Structure 1
């Protein structure tokens, strides 16, 4: 476990700053930092070491904030398939970090199998609502690692909204059910007028069409991209895209704001669209935002060495959107 001293200001000069990202499928970023620190202290006991695990808005974002000294708050929420899960958010004063992957991520799938037509972002909305109840006025919403393709409809339900069919009954969860959406009842939403929401994550395209939220649910193949593991076939993609189109029509009309074609709308199965439409969220590159929140510049000042890394290096790593290149650029 990290000690309280790890969260104080670093030595004035000569320290080693450990700022790794997560090693997916193996170690969280805080665990990587702890192991690196233990090895370095054994080899060079006199060298001051500062641990600062980092994240880019995806899985591990809340844990990185907690490791940097933010308060951990655990909430029982709805997981992506409807089963309850215990999710954590990070709180520092009136700023909260809410991570989609904590409540609605692929690691929350109980059988490990994708359910692209029926998974929901409801739990993420419940986490957001809890952060608001705790007094958060600024929320960083990490959108990586999601398991749902419901356009953020579940997020709106988690905040208190209702999605109704033609008979006035609540829709079942998932993106495919949105084809039967007839009306939105937003009277249960809290007052969000003073809330600032920042979407942290990778660049994402529009909500609909080729390259949209439904298309990224394609069945994995030899050259499939990151979203392909979610497992939707051609007919399922058509069903999802039709549902998301219906959702966009009614959501934009209710919110009086157009967001389906904006950059970031397709993030996390369309959860970005709901954040843009109902929360007036502002997209920002996840890693740079998190480095600022975690105080990287202050903790790197005077360091003789900065150590970073992640579980796999690929083209996205080198573009600076993830830990290695982003931390190296910030350190320089």
Structure 2
């Protein structure tokens, strides 16, 4: 009997991590059959949805015993939205996408005006509810405001030359003259914060929040330059007010996550940065599941260079190497060359675009195609009694 652990991330825009896992598992079972109590060979498949700190991470916290607490907060464009926070014991989890995500903007992305205020309101609600350790999942943000909205909701003051509060959004950070974090520290005194992210980008520069991520939030090249200047102004004023450490923090891994919200958490709240996939693996007890499996199957919507920097596939691959487990990957699209996949320890990989070249159909028919992908991986790599490792990743 072959024991298979299917542990993918979501395929953004089409399928949740659970839907992906169940579809792939169905394909594996269709080919290998299910093991029976009387000893008939087959497979035992376990589904374990994963996340990396981006959208969908809340589901993993819920699976680990956190429960949702309803709240109504300020959305990314200023309108009220229902965005829960999650509690277990004295800990809480806040998913940025629930309050400041692009999906809340509909077709009307406004990259210069979008705010993270609602995220700060969720943190504030969790702290008032008794949480003394808040995890904040950063991913899917519509904003590039450097976390100023988040901190303002916790009592921070961000003023222009006339002593007026800045308008919401990163497009107005160039006007910043005064930063006052005293009330932020009072409102979060005694609270530990963990930044849970799927990227390790710095705040500024060509690898930073504006240049890498703002375009996907609707920013034009001119907007990107304006947002970069605004974030740099934020660092300048914070460092002039509170010391050079605030400039050094801008270069830390995760400072550029979620349009610079990572910088706000690291600098103002003293947050600990942790890779989202590592946090999720701990929460769900991933290593224990992996030890009992013969083969790990993981995946995400797009496997590319970003995959190598803390995404689910890389995190699962690390465990596979540590435990000497076989590793198969399914994706919507794979842009990594075979050598890079081999470097991760991937034995076999299938993308939905190999099965269906029409991207739109890959989105609308994802469940059917994911089941076919699971079956194809099983046919190529798992059929038969042998558990010897295969070679190559072409299929």
TM-score clears 0.5: yes
Which residue, 40, 58, 65 being the options, matches 1:69? 65
RMSD: 2.8
Distance 1:153 1:36 in 2: 41
Shift of 1:320: 6.4
Which residue of 2 is the match for residue 250 of structure 1?
Answer: 237
Partner of 2:13: 25
Aligned counterparts of 1:232 and 1:207: Cα–Cα separation in 2: 17
Residue in 1 that maps onto 2:290 = 300
Corresponding residue for 1:166?
161
**Which of 260, 265, 273 is 1:275 aligned to?**
265
Q: Is structure 2 residue 191 aligned with structure 1 residue 195?
A: yes
Structure having the larger proportion of residues in helix: 2
Contact 1:287 1:321 in 2 (8 A): yes
In the alignment, does 2:185 pair up with 1:154?
no
Q: 1:234 to 1:33 in 2, by over 3 A?
A: closer
Rounded Cα–Cα distance in structure 2 between residues aligned with 1:298 and 1:134:
33
Q: Does the alignment pair 1:237 with 2:224? A: yes
1:87 to 79, 83, 87: 83
CA–CA distance in structure 2, aligned partners of residues 40 and 70 of structure 1: 31
Q: Is the 8 A contact 1:265 1:272 kept in 2?
A: yes
Q: Which of 205, 211, 215 is matched with 2:207 structurally?
A: 211
| Aligned-pair CA distance for 1:59 | 0.9
TM-score of the aligned structures, taking structure 2 as reference length: 0.70
1:213-232 Cα offsets, whole Å, 9 max, x none, are 22235xxxxxxxxx532232
Aligned length in residues: 309
1:221 aligns with: none
Shift of 1:27: 1.2
Deviations 1:93-151 (A, max 9, x none): 2222222222112112132x431111111111112212222222222222222111111
Give, in angstroms, the shift of residue 36 of structure 1: 5.2
- Cα distance change, pair 255–123 in 1 and its aligned pair in 2 (3 A): farther
Bigger shift: 208-217 or 155-164? 208-217
Q: Which position in structure 1 is the counterpart of 2:382?
A: none
Query: Do 2:155 and 2:187's aligned partners in 1 also have CA atoms closer than 8 Å?
Result: no
What's the CA shift for 1:210? 3.0
Larger radius of gyration: 2
Say if 1:215 and 1:316 are closer, same or farther in 2 by CA, change over 3 A: closer
Q: Give secondary structure in 1 for the equivalent of 2:299.
A: coil
Aligned equivalent of 1:7: none
Write the distance in 2 (CA, Å) between the matches of 1:213 and 1:86: 26
After TM superposition, which residue ranges in structure 1, 4 or more long, deviate above 4 angstroms?
Answer: 13-16, 34-43, 45-50, 253-256
- Give 3-state SS (helix, strand or coil) of 1:283's partner: strand
Aligned partners of 2:68 and 2:28: how far apart in 1? 28
Once the two structures are superposed, what CA deviation does each residue of 1:46-95 show, in whole Å capped at 9, x if it has no partner?
57654421111111111222134321223211111112222233322222
SS of match in other structure, 1:312:
strand
Between the aligned partners of 1:135 and 1:255, the Cα distance in structure 2 is 29
Shift of the 48–77 alpha-carbon distance from structure 1 to 2, 3 Å rule, reads farther
| Alignment correspondent of 2:378 | none
Q: Which residue of 1 aligns with 2:111?
A: 116
Alignment match, 2:133? 138
2:50 aligns to what? Answer: 54
**TM-score between both structures, scaled by the size of structure 1:** 0.81
SS at match of 1:311: strand
Instruction: Give the Å deviation of 1:185.
Output: 3.9
**C-alpha spacing 1:328/1:244, structure 2 compared with 1 (3 Å):** closer
Following the alignment from structure 2 to structure 1, what is the Cα–Cα distance between the partners of residues 199 and 27? Answer: 36
1:78 correspondence with 2:71: no
- Structure 1: how far apart are the matches of 2:130 and 2:13? 34
Give yes or no for contact 2:90–2:132 (8 Å, CA) kept in 1. yes
CA deviations on 1:193-236 (whole Å, 9 max, x unpaired) are 4322222223433323333322235xxxxxxxxx5322323332
Counterpart check, 1:324 vs 2:313:
yes
